[in-house]
Amino acid sequence: MDILTVLLLSLIAGASTAVGGVIYNYKRISKRVLQAALSGSTGVLLAILLLGAMPSAITLGGIGYASLGFILGGVVFMVTGFLFPHTYLNEKYEDRLYSILKTGSLILTGLVLYNFTAGLVFGSGSAFSGAMGAAIFITLILQNIPRGIALYSPLEQTGMIKKKIFLMLLFSAVPLFVGSAAMFAVISGALPVVLSTGMAFSAGAMSFIFIDQMMPIVKGGRDMHETAIAMFIGIFIGLLLLGI
């Protein structure tokens, strides 16, 4: 992929979160269906990261550079997560007023962290190959639309008007755009070991942010059997995407 294509697709992938908000306004999605969608898209993401990005990174630079990049990515965003408090709706506050007042800012921070790391993954995957970039692009849309649906309700409960909610969800395209551009610019055309480390760094960062933000939500489903089935199907879809 060339840089212009990467930038355009990153904006589309980021803006798909706002599409989820639009869907929420026109049709209420049951929690059961939303849970299945989040679980399935999570399975797709896992397949892309662990069965696509990491094996490619190991092939390019060997297990040493890939392992170094992965652990560095995880540690950097582990520290970042501690420095910038955020939520993906799983925290519970004893003080209801505090919860309402802080929900918007915590969700916004969570959106920035998630989408920036997603941008790193997309940028590094696109630098590796057009096919990998396309698979990640589809995965991000599958993930972001149900996330937009899930995020709309708690933002609405804070009293935020629809226009501001939509703009906040649309804003998530910015960190994804920045992350994609930065990673693609740094590693595109670089030595294999640099590309390997960059891909593994992105995969490590995204893996940690995924565990931090998404796993509590996926685990919070009422029917874990249905959640497991949805995630399993998602992993299978991820494998198919990697084969395109």
User: Rounded to two decimals, what is the model's pTM?
Assistant: 0.85
| Crossing angle of helices 173-187 and 96-128, rounded to 10° | 30
User: What is the number of helices (H) and of strands (E) in the chain?
Assistant: 10, 0
Measuring CA to CA, which residue among 182, 205, 230, 176 is closest to residue 57?
205
Helix (H, G, I), strand (E, B) or coil at 185: helix
State the pLDDT at residue 163: 87
Give tens-digit pLDDT for 194-240: 999 999 999 999 888 877 766 666 655 556 677 788 888 998 999 88
pLDDT in tens, the chain (244 residues): 789 999 999 999 999 999 998 888 887 777 788 888 888 888 898 899 988 999 999 999 999 999 999 999 999 988 887 777 665 554 444 444 444 445 566 777 778 888 999 999 999 999 999 999 999 999 999 989 988 888 887 778 777 888 888 988 898 899 999 999 999 998 988 888 999 999 999 999 988 887 776 666 665 555 667 778 888 899 899 988 887 6
Domain that holds residue 81: 3-242
Q: Number of structural domains, the chain?
A: 1
CA angle 103, 9, 68 (to 5 degrees): 75
- The 8 Å CB, 24+ separation contacts for 32-36 are 32/222, 32/223, 32/226, 34/146, 34/149, 34/150, 35/218, 35/221, 35/222, 35/226, 35/227, 35/230, 36/226, 36/227, 36/230
